[in-house]
Amino acid sequence: MTIILGLESSCDETAAALVTADRRILAHKLATQEAEHRPYGGVVPEIAARAHVEMLTPLIKAVFDEAGLALADVDAIAATAGPGLIGGVMVGLVTGKALSLASGKPLVAVNHLEGHALSPRLVDPSLEFPYLLLLVSGGHCQLLRVEGVGRYRRLATTIDDAAGEAFDKTAKLLGLGFPGGPAVERAAALGDAMAVPLPRPLLGANDPHFSFAGLKSAVLRAHQSGQWQVEDIAASFQQAVIDCLIDRTGKAIASSAGLTALVVAGGVAANQSVRTALEALAIDHGLPFVVPPLWLCTDNAAMIGWAGAERFAEGLTDGLDFVARPRWPLDPGAEKARGAGVKA
Ligand code: KG4
Ligand code: ZN
């Protein structure tokens, strides 16, 4: 049975995993750097890269120990090669190259977004192409039509902030702490989602994309006005994000023929209200709703190992000269979104 070692280091999670082509996760380990970044209210790239250097090797050793395997037992080494914070990406990719060189096993350079995009297939063998993926994380807010391994059509992206980024910035504005998503969700549970009038950027517009920067500014104004409770602002903000996600996703479903399912992945998928709303949308459109377990929705190495397994099965391996990519769109042919900033 094909065994793949997966490595992830593109943001603030260092992770290693051993997965098989028949969907068994033999071991997976993850070290989060939340505590290191908390004092700064966001991920500091230099601190992240150093932490990856310190953590990755012990985690690799730990997954081999847990699975009772050695490097010689794996068939390929899959490492995230981008997009992400370049210092961290280089740590994981160089480690993958070194292991590949030492063992003579091929390297698979994995696009982190492809890891998210294919992750539901690791846990759901019945999930067939093409499906619609809503990828909502700290760095991304995209709707992708997943047509096959390496075949993605980007139907929408954000023209400014990612959804998770909006949660993180809102948490910071409201003094709710870091990481922001879970903090906003907890506060929102105590508030009234109808209390504060907030904009729904691009709602109902023909433009398929997302925009959250205006919402964030409106949150700041509402907070500064002193008129509202923090919990009510959090709840109203969360509802505005949900309304935007639902509107744009509904539009993408309507415009994309032959979909087998609606899939959601990325850290924001951890939000229960977001999941509930998307599930209702899927049901409305007669589509199965697939959401990987929470730990697989956020950054991890099992999804990188799995994407590696899917690519390896198709004979897609990479040379040791593969260069780490800070930006790496899954659909390079997609038109640049109007007003798009730095998001991959
Ligand atoms: O996928 P992920 O772990 O990392 C990447 O960005 O690739 O996603 C992290 C993002 C953060 O912005 C975090 O605030 C958000 O997901 N997040 C949430 C929740 N849990 C995590 N957003 C809303 N509600 C949550 N419960
Ligand atoms: Zn991610």
Closest-CA residue, ligand 1 atom 19, reads 181
Could you tell me the pTM of the whole model? 0.92
Predicted confidence band at 341 (pLDDT cuts at 50, 70, 90)?
Answer: very low
Distance 319 CA to ligand 1 centre (A): 32
Phi, psi of 260 (to 5 degrees): -95, -20
Predicted confidence band at 179 (pLDDT cuts at 50, 70, 90)?
Answer: confident
Mutate to test the pocket of ligand 1, among 119, 245, 268 (most ligand atoms within 8 A of CB): 268
Residue found by looking up tokens 């997009």 in the block: 83
320 in a domain, yes or no? no
62 in a domain, yes or no? yes
**Residue 208 to residue 338: CA distance in whole angstroms:** 10
330 in a domain, yes or no? no
Residues 168 and 281 in one domain: yes
Ligand nearest 138 Cα, by number? Answer: 1
Residues 266 and 304 in one domain: no
161 torsion bin: left (phi>0), alpha (psi -120 to 50), beta (else): beta
Q: What is the pLDDT of residues 203-228, one digit of tens each?
A: 888 888 999 999 999 999 999 999 99
Q: How many domains does the chain have?
A: 2
Residues 35 and 110 in one domain: yes
238 in a domain, yes or no? yes
- Looking at residue 343, its pLDDT comes to 36
103 in a domain, yes or no? yes
User: Can you give the residue range of the structural domain that contains 202?
Assistant: 128-292
Q: Is the CB of 178 under 6 A from ligand 1?
A: no
pLDDT above 80 for 61:
yes
Residues 135 and 281 in one domain: yes
**Residue 300 to residue 31: CA distance in whole angstroms:** 9
Distance 113 CA to ligand 2 centre (A): 7
CATH number, domain with residue 199: 3.30.420.40
Ligand nearest 171 Cα, by number? Answer: 1
Residues 300 and 253 in one domain: no
Distance 330 CA to ligand 1 centre (A): 20
